[in-house]
């Protein structure tokens, strides 16, 4: 399963880039139209639930990106194919942005629904920890001067963080039941109407396209960075 990246692949990625950017903006605009104009307001939360259409996709992709990051780090350790390291490094920063966005939009959504900006609930706390894991991954790589070592070390850290996230989720859940028996965040999730599913699906697709676009741009960037490091050594 040894995939090798050659110049043809890079040219293909390069030529796909404008189309991807166009597709991302197009789907985002349709998604915005549906989520702001075409969908009905929620009958409990009113119009504030429109924040869900950007909050939920960014939270999903924050988690998915970390899974891809940790998975590619594991695959890199198993197969020793440097492609996986490049994938991990190109995807990490997009994940960090998505995590930050889900935290900010979630907090803005929390103010009208719960009355507070932040709740010390398992989901929110583990997202916050996830953000710091992304920061640790990115900045540890930058802090170590020997870049080959730096990738190995930060990959090990990403895998440890992947083990740590479920432990934190579990422990904060346990801690919550101890400290605040009636958590306000435990609103039962009602089944979502189809008219709300369409904008959610569109925004998810748009976020996915954004993830792919920026990851491919960063993929090229990381490859050039690697080449420059190799020539300078």
> Are 185 and 121 contacting, i.e. CB atoms less than 8 angstroms apart?
yes
Tokens linked to 220 = 């090229």
The binding track of 98-137 with respect to another protein, each residue x by CB under 8 A or -, is --xx--xx--xx-xx----------------x--xx-xx-
Q: Does 64 bind another protein (CB under 8 A)?
A: no
Among residues 68 and 96, whose Cβ is nearest to another protein?
A: 96
Q: Does 144 bind another protein (CB under 8 A)?
A: yes
Torsion of CA 64, 65, 67, 71, to 10 degrees: 140
Q: Does 180 bind another protein (CB under 8 A)?
A: no
Q: Where are the alpha helices (DSSP H) in the chain?
A: 7-33, 52-79, 82-114, 122-143, 147-179, 194-232
**Rounded Cα distance, 155 and 89, in Å:** 9
Q: Where are the alpha helices (DSSP H) in 80-121?
A: 82-114
Q: Does 220 bind another protein (CB under 8 A)?
A: yes
Residue 15: count other Cβ atoms within 10 Å of its Cβ: 9
CA angle 124, 129, 133 (to 5 degrees): 145
- 46 forms bridges with which residues in the sheet? 42
Tokens linked to 10 = 């890079």
Among 38, 79, 174, 193, binds another protein (CB under 8 A): 174
Stretch that binds another protein, among 66-74, 78-86, 194-202, 222-230 (CB under 8 A): 222-230
The binding track of 10-39 with respect to another protein, each residue x by CB under 8 A or -, is -----------x------x---x---xx--
Q: Which residues bind another protein (CB under 8 A)?
A: 21, 28, 32, 36-37, 41, 46-48, 50-51, 54-55, 58, 93-94, 97, 100-101, 104-105, 108-109, 111-112, 129, 132-133, 135-136, 139-140, 143-146, 149-150, 152-153, 156-157, 160-161, 163-164, 167-168, 171-172, 174-175, 178, 210, 213-214, 217-218, 220-221, 224-225, 227-228, 231
């Amino acid at each position: 399963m040894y995939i090798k990246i050659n110049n043809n692949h890079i040219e293909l990625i390069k030529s796909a880039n404008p189309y991807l950017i166009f597709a991302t903006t197009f789907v985002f605009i349709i998604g915005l139209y549906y989520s702001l104009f075409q969908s009905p307001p929620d009958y409990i939360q009113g119009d504030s639930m429109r924040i869900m259409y950007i909050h939920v996709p960014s939270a999903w992709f924050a988690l998915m990106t970390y899974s891809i990051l940790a998975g590619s780090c594991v695959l890199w350790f198993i197969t020793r194919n440097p492609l996986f390291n490049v994938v991990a490094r190109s995807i990490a920063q997009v994940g960090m942005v998505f995590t930050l966005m889900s935290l900010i939009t979630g907090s803005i959504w929390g103010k009208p629904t719960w009355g507070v900006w932040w709740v010390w609930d398992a989901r929110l706390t583990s997202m916050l920890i996830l953000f710091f894991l992304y920061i640790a991954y990115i900045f540890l790589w930058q802090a170590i001067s020997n870049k080959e070592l730096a990738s190995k070390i930060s990959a090990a850290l990403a895998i440890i963080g992947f083990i740590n996230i479920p432990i934190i989720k579990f422990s904060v859940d346990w801690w919550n039941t101890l400290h605040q028996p009636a958590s306000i965040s435990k609103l039962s999730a009602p089944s979502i109407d189809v008219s709300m599913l369409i904008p959610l699906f569109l925004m998810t697709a748009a976020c996915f396209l954004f993830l792919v676009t920026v990851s491919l741009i960063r993929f090229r960037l990381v490859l050039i960075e690697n080449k420059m490091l190799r020539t300078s050594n």
